[in-house]
Amino acid sequence: MTPPPPPLTFRRSGDGRRCDPALDDGPLRAARDAFVQGHWAEARGLLLETGERWDLRGHRVTALAMTPAAEAWAREWQLTEPDSAHAATLLACASTLRAVRGKQDPHVARAAIGAAVRHAPADPTPWLALLLLFRATATSEDCRHAYEELSARHPEHHHAHHLMAAALAEKGTGVYDFAAETAERAPADCPLALLPVVAHAERFRVLVAQGQSDPDATGAGHWQGRYPQQIVRAAFNWWLEWGAEDRNPRRLVDLNHLAHAKFHEGRMAEAAALFQRIGPHVTPEPWSFSGRDPHKVFRAAHKAALGSA
């Protein structure tokens, strides 16, 4: 399963500890522990094993790049393997994170990103680094350029979409349009279908930081007045209910798609066996659980909101 994008910020727990950026990725944790000590061979093996699973690669590279002295160790790796695209990409991300924290000249990070792009033109990860850099140092147009280059290489890159939503929310323009257009293009079983919820959350975060408590008071976005709090609440409720089932919802999505494919290929026995495994949750909709179609949930919430206005 594709890991979620690393959190944009980390909330401290009551005992002062912070969320681990590696999340539950055991191999990443092991490679990172070695990398902190300057042993980059484990990181090399991890990234080789990751291959072209771009969401997972972005997650692993950025987590490695967060470690102390990551830039120095990546440069040492490059001295041994100057043609390594993995080393170049890790150096680009490490240099970017230092620039975002104000400890590196952004031009140095841009140079490292350019080198990583030349080493691996098809890899979206260097463009993820550029999006991180532009979010902190450039305009929304620059962010969109980096996003478009990344999206051309991997259209469903989760971390990139969350970063772009955050950047547009911070810059005060276009976040709702971006989220709505992404949701319309996203496959029905893709979490990006709920990016509009992320857009509302990001915009609310920015407005609260600016001392405003009412997102609708700004007039930002074409959703003003059309999608009140009831709809956002319904979206979050749908998401929580969908993920709270005893059975893995993403697994049921995969089984449902495969069962319908077997059916249309005329392989009825195989399709019947898959439908039997899915059980009562089978649905002709792309969503794995009947009654969990978010568009229906949102429409019902919208109608209720209008009725109570």
- The residue among 227, 260, 286 that closes a domain is 227
Residues 72 and 30 occupy one common structural domain: yes
Residue 161 lies in a domain: yes
Residues 7 and 126 occupy one common structural domain: yes
Residues 172 and 115 occupy one common structural domain: no
Residues 149 and 190 occupy one common structural domain: yes
- The residue among 98, 120, 137 that closes a domain is 137
Residues 6 and 68 occupy one common structural domain: yes
Closest CA to 245 of 208, 182, 192, 288: 288
User: In whole angstroms, how far apart are CA 190 and each of 85, 113, 246?
Assistant: 29, 29, 20
Residue 171 lies in a domain: yes
What is the domain count for the chain? 2
Can you give the pLDDT at residue 258?
65
Residues 20 and 133 occupy one common structural domain: yes
- The residue among 174, 203, 227 that closes a domain is 227
Tokens of 45: 């093996």
Residues 2 and 132 occupy one common structural domain: yes
Can you give the pLDDT at residue 220?
39
Residues 132 and 29 occupy one common structural domain: yes
Distance, in Å, from the CA atom of 162 to the CA atom of 191, rounded to the nearest integer, reads 11
Can you give the pLDDT at residue 24?
78
Closest CA to 171 of 211, 144, 198, 150: 144
Q: Is the dihedral of CA 270, 274, 275, 276 positive or negative?
A: positive
Residue 299 lies in a domain: no
Can you give the pLDDT at residue 195?
84
Closest CA to 228 of 252, 189, 248, 200: 200
Residue 177 lies in a domain: yes
Domain hosting residue 188, numbered range? 141-227
Mean pLDDT of each 10-residue bin along the chain, 309 residues long: 40 50 88 93 96 94 94 95 96 97 95 97 97 94 95 93 92 87 78 80 80 49 43 47 42 56 68 61 37 49 56
Residue 295 lies in a domain: no
Residue 282 lies in a domain: no
pTM: 0.67
Distance, in Å, from the CA atom of 38 to the CA atom of 30, rounded to the nearest integer, reads 13
Residues 58 and 36 occupy one common structural domain: yes
Residues 61 and 110 occupy one common structural domain: yes
Can you give the pLDDT at residue 304?
61
Residue 261 lies in a domain: no
Can you give the pLDDT at residue 300?
58
Residues 55 and 167 occupy one common structural domain: no
Can you give the pLDDT at residue 247?
40
Residues 216 and 114 occupy one common structural domain: no
Residue 31 lies in a domain: yes
User: In whole angstroms, how far apart are CA 108 and each of 76, 113, 141, 183?
Assistant: 17, 9, 21, 35
Report yes or no: 255 and 278 within 8 Å, Cβ to Cβ.
Answer: yes
Distance, in Å, from the CA atom of 119 to the CA atom of 112, rounded to the nearest integer, reads 11
Q: Is the dihedral of CA 137, 5, 212, 222 positive or negative?
A: positive
